[in-house]
Chains A and B, each alone.
Chain A
Amino acid sequence: MSRLSAGDRLRRMLELVPWVMSQGGAELNEVAQRFDYPEAELREDLVRVLFVVGLHPFTPDELIYVMGLDEEDNGGWVAISNADYFSRPLRLTPGQALGLIGAGEALLSGGEPEGPLSRGLAKLTDGLGVSVGEDLAISLGESADEWVEPLLSAATGRRQVRIRYFSFGRGQESDRVIHPLRVFSEMGNWYVQGHCQQAGGVRVFRIDRIRSLEVLAAHFDPPAETGAPSAFEARETDPRVVLRLAPGASWAIERYPTEEQVVLDSGEIDVTMPVSQISRLERLLLQLGTEAELQHSDPPVAADQARLVAQRVLDRYK
């Protein structure tokens, strides 16, 4: 642990003093653990710093009382009093309130049932005067995904699962056994990242495309490191395409990862992007219509890919 600065000590002291006061005293090691304050440092700062803090003119009755500890490293229990000005914790910053309420609300929207989280969140929002769903509305994705919870517990318990999965790219269902590593939400959808036995590698699956799921008895060993999950993880081997977009059409690629964007004198933009699934490129080409032109790809896809897929869709209308 690196050395605590005066600012770190200050923040933690202002957090732990109100708690110890409200408890009427506490075990030193519990205080250290709750407030992430190395115990030896905490003991010293209580005995040699807080004990001499007080109000002018610093007569004994104006100093904070720190009881239960002494300078000889005795005592495992501490009580604090005569510090009314430090008896309440500091209010939350807007960022801290947003982070905590947002995290709680996001998890509830993911399907967590009524329980300690909703009770704790209600106390927090009542206390801070925030209306959940009105002031702040957070959706990490459709909450209808019944598989989020079982996948999460399988990931935590290192249990293999068998899924029947609909691959949008191939347009067909297949059975797979996966080792779920992480469950996460991105761009409004829930995903599970896991090692797929059939594919022989780590893949990302969209949870709303799982048709059925069975948690198996078999466990798995977690891999060393899988890196941060991303639904749009590009692999080295993915084809790269260059699309030329009409001026003002860059909105279309906001939800896709791009590796390079070059704005031409004409205002058009050349965008280089990895294509992990051909269907994803096809969808983009159809939605952009005449606003996009395929410039180049490596390895090549058909130069008239856009026309080919448009024709496939048009066949339905003939």
Chain B
Amino acid sequence: MAARPRRKPEQVRLERLLRLIAALIETSRFLSIEELHKRVGIARGEDSAGYPENEAAAKRAFHRDMNELADAGIPVISGPVPGQERETWGYRIRKQDYSLPEMDFEADELAALHRAATAVRFDGVSGSEALWKLGGRVGEGTDAELAAVPVHPALADLFQAVTEQRVADFAYGGQPRSVEPWTLAFDQGHWYVVGHDRGRDDKRTFRVDRIEGDVALGSPGGFEQPEGTAGWVPFQPWKFGTGPAVAARLRVDPDQAVWAARRLGQEPAEKESDGSAVFEVVVRSPDAFRSLVLEFLEHAEILGPPELRADMVAWLEGIGT
């Protein structure tokens, strides 16, 4: 066999990392650093993978490797090594933590997911990376980016909290909150987390971008979610408030009627002879309703009840005086 050039340093390192992962998976107990050094091997010469013979250098190299594994998302756990006189800390990877569940994708499904991942960009988290784990990139993807969804640093943690029923602790509005998160939702350009606020003992909705600092997660299965609480109600703030429900009547000019129906999420109750549309809207927050009506400038008018109409007139008369 002809002599081959030496391997590149990153290839030698790759070999050591792969051996380390294999050793960490193929064990039923925690392994000490010394045991891992032995199982991975000692480097003899530049082209040889393994840990340095010098103990201090070997420890440093080991910790660099553990950081590399953490960066790659490999779930190494630590715990006491059994049968030791002096307590010794060791490491292992549990197969059930490591492995992706079985999911048998057809090529067209992978291609469709690939297209979706390239069409909708989540800033900072990559759906495309996930595809490699599912069987590689199939198809071309798309260069016509459909949407960019803003991503908050806490979002991945909150998603994990929702899917694994972990309690999430964070600061919001200057107050510490402890929340059992039920749903993560993106609506009207913002992320929300809905859940049970333990301190207030009630359902609350939080805007993710207003969470202050980091989110701390509890253990998996940290709470039971009541039946029928999941899901997201589209954001129509005039429907939510502490006030009593009022049936308001809103007239909208003909050329804005279609748009108004979409904004309100309902069809008009009646059409007038000139084509104007009249909507009957349930209002619990008069302020939010006023803001909604003002989006239409002079193309919409509150017909009733009289107090909502008077409220609008007073608001407008107060402007610029």
Question: Are A186 and B130 in touch, CB under 8 angstroms?
Answer: no
How near does chain A come to B67, taking the closest CB pair, in angstroms?
10
> Hey, what's the 0/1 contact readout for B99-140 against A, CB within 8 Å counting as 1?
111111110111111011101111011111111111111100
Q: Which of B121, B126, B316 contacts A313 (CB 8 A)?
A: B316
**B247 interfacial contact with A, CB 8 Å:** no
Question: Are B259 and A208 in touch, CB under 8 angstroms?
Answer: yes
Query: With A and B bound together, what is the CA distance between A197 and B149 in angstroms?
Result: 30
Question: Are A94 and B146 in touch, CB under 8 angstroms?
Answer: no
Q: Which of A126, A133, A184 contacts B231 (CB 8 A)?
A: A133
Question: Are B291 and A58 in touch, CB under 8 angstroms?
Answer: no
With known contacts A9-B14, A140-B147, A186-B147, A102–B120 Cβ distance under 8 A: yes
Query: With A and B bound together, what is the CA distance between A49 and B1 in angstroms?
Result: 17
Query: With A and B bound together, what is the CA distance between A46 and B259 in angstroms?
Result: 59
Contacts of A6-24 to chain B: CB distance below 8 A: 6-7, 9-16, 19
Query: With A and B bound together, what is the CA distance between A304 and B49 in angstroms?
Result: 77
Query: With A and B bound together, what is the CA distance between A120 and B301 in angstroms?
Result: 47
**A77 interfacial contact with B, CB 8 Å:** no
Q: Which residues of B contact A304 (CB under 8 A)?
A: 320
User: Chain B interface residue count: which class?
Assistant: 35 or more
With known contacts A54-B19, A103-B119, A310-B319, A35–B136 Cβ distance under 8 A: yes
**A48 interfacial contact with B, CB 8 Å:** yes
Q: Which residues of B contact A314 (CB under 8 A)?
A: 313, 316-317
Q: Which residues of B contact A188 (CB under 8 A)?
A: 187-189, 235
Q: Which of A34, A121, A211 contacts B113 (CB 8 A)?
A: A121
**A100 interfacial contact with B, CB 8 Å:** yes
Query: With A and B bound together, what is the CA distance between A135 and B321 in angstroms?
Result: 49
In the complex, identify which listed stretch (A109-117, A236-244, A264-272) lies at the interface while the others stay far away.
A109-117
Q: Which residues of A contact B258 (CB under 8 A)?
A: 211
Question: Are A313 and B13 in touch, CB under 8 angstroms?
Answer: no
Q: Which residues of A contact B135 (CB under 8 A)?
A: 19, 34, 89
With known contacts A92-B100, A120-B112, A187–B188 Cβ distance under 8 A: yes
**Which residue in chain B gives the minimum CB-CB distance to A309?**
B297
Q: Which residues of A contact B291 (CB under 8 A)?
A: 287
Query: With A and B bound together, what is the CA distance between A186 and B137 in angstroms?
Result: 27
How near does chain A come to B88, taking the closest CB pair, in angstroms?
19
**A273 interfacial contact with B, CB 8 Å:** no
Query: With A and B bound together, what is the CA distance between A144 and B98 in angstroms?
Result: 41
**A176 interfacial contact with B, CB 8 Å:** no
Q: Which residues of B contact A35 (CB under 8 A)?
A: 132, 136-137
**A285 interfacial contact with B, CB 8 Å:** yes
Contacts of B269-321 to chain A: CB distance below 8 A: 290-291, 294-295, 297-299, 301, 309, 312-313, 315-321
Q: How many residues of A contact B (CB 8 A)?
A: 118
Q: Which residues of A contact B127 (CB under 8 A)?
A: 96, 98-104
**A219 interfacial contact with B, CB 8 Å:** no
**B32 interfacial contact with A, CB 8 Å:** no
**B148 interfacial contact with A, CB 8 Å:** yes
Question: Are A134 and B10 in touch, CB under 8 angstroms?
Answer: no
Q: Which residues of B contact A107 (CB under 8 A)?
A: 115-116, 119-120, 146
With known contacts A53-B22, A316-B301, A7–B320 Cβ distance under 8 A: no
With known contacts A13-B18, A136-B162, A313-B297, A89–B100 Cβ distance under 8 A: yes
Query: With A and B bound together, what is the CA distance between A121 and B318 in angstroms?
Result: 52
**B245 interfacial contact with A, CB 8 Å:** no
Q: Which of A7, A45, A54, A89 contacts B22 (CB 8 A)?
A: A54
Q: Which residues of A contact B40 (CB under 8 A)?
A: 56
**A174 interfacial contact with B, CB 8 Å:** no
Question: Are A90 and B186 in touch, CB under 8 angstroms?
Answer: no
How near does chain B come to A249, taking the closest CB pair, in angstroms?
12
How near does chain A come to B290, taking the closest CB pair, in angstroms?
8
Question: Are A171 and B299 in touch, CB under 8 angstroms?
Answer: yes
> Hey, what's the 0/1 contact readout for A50-92 against B, CB within 8 Å counting as 1?
1011111010000000000001100000000001011011111
Q: Which residues of A contact B149 (CB under 8 A)?
A: 102, 106, 138, 140
Chain A residues close to B by CB (< 8 Å) = 3-7, 9-16, 19, 31, 34-36, 44-45, 48-50, 52-56, 58, 71-72, 83, 85-86, 88-104, 106-107, 110, 115-117, 119-121, 123-124, 126-131, 133-140, 142, 144, 152, 155-156, 166, 171-173, 182-188, 208-209, 211, 228, 255, 279, 282-283, 285-287, 289-290, 304, 306-317
Give the 10 A-B residue pairs with the shortest CB-CB distance, closest first. A307-B320, A34-B136, A120-B109, A99-B127, A187-B189, A134-B230, A100-B127, A137-B232, A88-B99, A188-B188
A-B residue pairs in contact (CB < 8 Å), sample of 7: A6-B13, A100-B117, A102-B149, A121-B116, A124-B103, A140-B146, A187-B188
